[in-house]
Amino acid sequence: MSAIQTKAKTGKTAAKKNRKHFPALISSLFKIGFLGFGGGCALIPVMEKEIVEDAKLVTQKEYDKDTLVACITPGALPIEIATGLGLSAYGITGMLSAALALALPGSLLTVLILALLSGADGLVLTEIQCFSIGVGAFISYLLLLYAINTLRESRNAASGDTRKTFLVMLAVFFLGCGKTFSNLPFMNGRYLFGLSTIQILGLAFFVILFTGGKNTPWKTAVSAILVALYALSAGHAHLIPGVVPRRILVAAMYFCAAAGMILSIRNDLRAHRALLSGRKNLLHFLKEVLAWLLLLAVCALPALLLTEKTPLYLIRGFFSSIISFGGGDAYLSVADGLFVNSGMVTYKEFYSLLVPVANVLPGSILSKILTGVGYYIGYNLNGSPVQGIAVAFAGFICSVVASGLVFCLVYHAYNSVEHITVFQKIGHWIRPIIAGLLLSVMCSMIQTSLSTAASIGIAVLPVFLVTCGIIVLNLSLMKKKSNPFMIAASSLIGLVASNLLLFLA
């Protein structure tokens, strides 16, 4: 049998295997949609454990690739990862099914709870906030576990990778955790760097592209100096003031990254093959764009017929998705400007009802918020929950389409260059970078729980001790109990402890 025939036979076998695993992938993503609390980056370890470690539906390499592309793409990160998983294995059908399966549970629960909360008193919202403290502790455990596992896996790599992995995680953590540190008493609101996710990823890509993954003394020194200057001038710290110096610095970093990339790929034959595959990727992308737009047009039709507010809402929803970097907190500020300040929803509806509900439910924050805004737009027409659900459904589809469409664009662009050596270095280091980002998210999650406790009159220190206790408990049970059990136990402990502290306050 020739090599070509063998390859063709292997490809057919893989295709059959993929078709057999399609229901398993969709059901796993649907399950994550119900159990994946925290949204954004917090769902990365949840999806990895369910799909890679437990079900073994994709390889670690495939998952890391989809995670990398999702991290550099605006929109709802969990939906984008699901889109990539479905697209690479099952094409357009898998792409649509996977994204919808992951996003549906959280958005559906959001609408149901908002409908039930119409006219509810403040006691219900207080209980929701108490419940969120335990959920936040469980999410913090998952984020910490991802970092621990990243260090463990680095031990199996080349000599010195564990130390480098730890240093990368630590550097990313300190660059990104400024908001949490600024709330410490001795900081008095001052920021320690506080770079955004996209800024940190940009710095990481700059270092890798400029050095080509080879740590020569002079390139290491130059990249370290430029990164340090950027960290001191950007973000929230602004230790080096002035817009002009920062723009000059960014231009210099772009130039160095481009020069380093050109030198790295000049003699890389795989670069020439990658360029030849660009046309094929473009055709695939155009088909996927058509599929996404058809999905949006069909599903949004009832809402378009219901009210003249729907077109503007969908346009703003799509725009808010494609400019949203940095997870749920970043999207809240975008949604505030587009929907609250414009009068589409009231301040009370958004911050007193929708945001607390979205934070305590599983799934993508972006999708839940956009769906909830749609519910209030429809509900406020004449107080009908049915009309609210119709517009909410259009917003839900809009959030999925916007995230999935932009992901497909970046995914195919990355496919064209992923086999080039310098871009493989990015794939190698993306996991430690994400681990550092997740440690920052963990600190923000704990800070949010403490702020929630303070807002309902509970002392901060006991809540911090309860949170740490839940994290330690989950770490001790991780090899004995499943995630659903630990989620339920964490939520119950948080709810009971918070109510007891509230009673004693």
Alpha helices in 277-335 (DSSP H): 278-306, 310-322, 328-335
Q: For 362, list phi and psi in degrees, rounded to 5.
A: -75, 165
Q: What is the pLDDT of residue 9?
A: 42
What is the pLDDT tens value at each position of the chain, 505 positions in all? 443 344 344 344 344 445 668 899 999 999 999 888 877 778 888 899 889 988 888 888 889 999 989 988 888 999 999 999 999 888 999 999 999 999 999 999 999 998 887 655 567 778 888 888 998 899 889 889 989 988 888 876 654 578 888 988 988 888 877 666 666 555 555 667 778 777 888 898 898 888 876 777 888 889 889 998 888 888 676 677 777 788 888 999 999 988 888 877 776 655 555 555 555 677 888 999 999 999 999 999 999 999 999 999 999 999 999 888 756 667 887 888 899 988 899 988 888 788 888 888 888 999 999 999 999 999 998 888 899 999 999 999 999 999 999 999 999 888 877 777 777 777 778 888 888 888 888 888 888 888 888 888 898 899 999 999 999 999 998 888 877 888 889 989 999 999 999 888 7
Token pair for 465: 């001790």
Q: Spell out the residues 6+ positions from residue 402 whose beta carbon is closer than 8 angstroms to its own.
A: 75, 317, 318, 321, 322
Q: What is the pLDDT of residue 5?
A: 42
Residue 491 CB neighbour total at 10 angstroms = 22
Token pair for 118: 């119409």
Q: What is the pLDDT of residue 38?
A: 76
Q: What is the pLDDT of residue 383?
A: 85
3-state secondary structure of 72: coil
Question: What whole-number distance in Å separates Cα of residue 215 and Cα of residue 220?
Answer: 6
Residue 137's nearest CA partner among 460, 477, 449 is: 449
Q: What is the pLDDT of residue 329?
A: 63
Q: What is the pLDDT of residue 8?
A: 40
Place of tokens 């260059």: 417
Q: What share of the chain is helix, strand, coil (3-state, %, to 5)?
A: 80, 0, 20
Residue 105's nearest CA partner among 14, 193, 43, 166 is: 43
> DSSP state, 22?
H
Cα torsion 322, 323, 329, 335 to 10°: value is -90
Residue 242 CB neighbour total at 10 angstroms = 10
* C-alpha distances in Å from residue 189, one per residue of 102, 171, 223, 332, 338: 37, 21, 30, 21, 28
Place of tokens 């564990």: 162
Question: What whole-number distance in Å separates Cα of residue 492 and Cα of residue 148?
Answer: 26
The beta-carbon contacts of 13-16 under 8 Å, at least 24 apart in sequence, are none
Alpha helices in 118-237 (DSSP H): 122-154, 161-176, 178-182, 197-211, 217-233
3-state secondary structure of 362: strand
Residue 82's nearest CA partner among 36, 38, 130 is: 36
* C-alpha distances in Å from residue 267, one per residue of 92, 205, 264, 271, 420: 35, 20, 7, 8, 10
Contact in structure between 419 and 273 (CB atoms under 8 Å): yes
Q: What is the pLDDT of residue 7?
A: 39
Residue 32's nearest CA partner among 98, 93, 102 is: 102
Contact in structure between 77 and 441 (CB atoms under 8 Å): no
Question: What whole-number distance in Å separates Cα of residue 151 and Cα of residue 435?
Answer: 9
Q: For 284, list phi and psi in degrees, rounded to 5.
A: -60, -40
* Domain boundaries, given as residue ranges, for the chain: 107-275+408-504
* C-alpha distances in Å from residue 203, one per residue of 140, 253, 318, 393, 415: 25, 9, 28, 38, 21
Question: What whole-number distance in Å separates Cα of residue 285 and Cα of residue 230?
Answer: 35
Sign of CA dihedral 318, 319, 323, 325: negative
* C-alpha distances in Å from residue 290, one per residue of 48, 76, 98, 280, 338: 29, 20, 17, 16, 27
With residue 498 as reference, give the H or E element that holds it.
helix 483-504
Q: What is the pLDDT of residue 159?
A: 46
